[in-house]
Amino acid sequence: MGGGTCNQFMTEPNNGREKRSPWGILIEFPPPLIRLLAKEPISRKHIRALSDREVAIGAELSLDRVRSISRSKNWDKISVGELRMFCQGCNFDPFDYKDRNRVRAYSRNAPKFSYLKASPYWGDTFLPLIKLLENA
């Protein structure tokens, strides 16, 4: 994939049938994007970004491994088991059409990622991941 914006990763259609295949879905939702989507509701209208530690606990992975997967540009060197656990820790299932459609709908409205910007982890965790996606 060439360089692009975070929004493009959330909206770029893949070629034909590839989009519906598991491989096309994983290309559409790379590790940094899934990490940026890790959040939980705190009220009906507000959400909170999860910390790396919370993702690690939910994924049953080490903190270092969560950070390493988050910085991976693609899934090529990540085992299927770790992929599943990482996604579980991020509260996002790339194979659930409801999760995918929710992200696509959010991206159509010029996403601001305000829940990330409000997080104390914005500068050291989330902003570098957005830059990584833009440079992928």
What is the tens place of the pLDDT at every residue in 18-50? 457 888 899 989 999 999 999 999 998 889 999
Please report which residue ranges of 1-136 form alpha helices under DSSP H: 6-11, 22-28, 31-36, 52-59, 63-70, 80-89, 97-108, 114-117, 127-134
Domain-located, residue 117: yes
Report pLDDT for 76: 95
Report pLDDT for 19: 52
Report pLDDT for 20: 74
CA torsion, ordered 113, 118, 123, 127, to nearest 10 deg: 0
Report pLDDT for 18: 44
Report pLDDT for 105: 84
Q: What is the CB neighbour count within 10 angstroms for residue 38? A: 24
Look at residue 5 and tell me whether its pLDDT is greater than 90. no
Which structural domain range is residue 88 located in?
A: 6-134
Domain-located, residue 89: yes
Based on the structure, what is the number of domains in the chain?
Answer: 1
pLDDT per residue over 56-113, tens digit each?
A: 999 999 999 999 999 999 999 999 999 999 999 999 999 999 999 988 887 787 777 8
Domain-located, residue 25: yes
Domain-located, residue 1: no
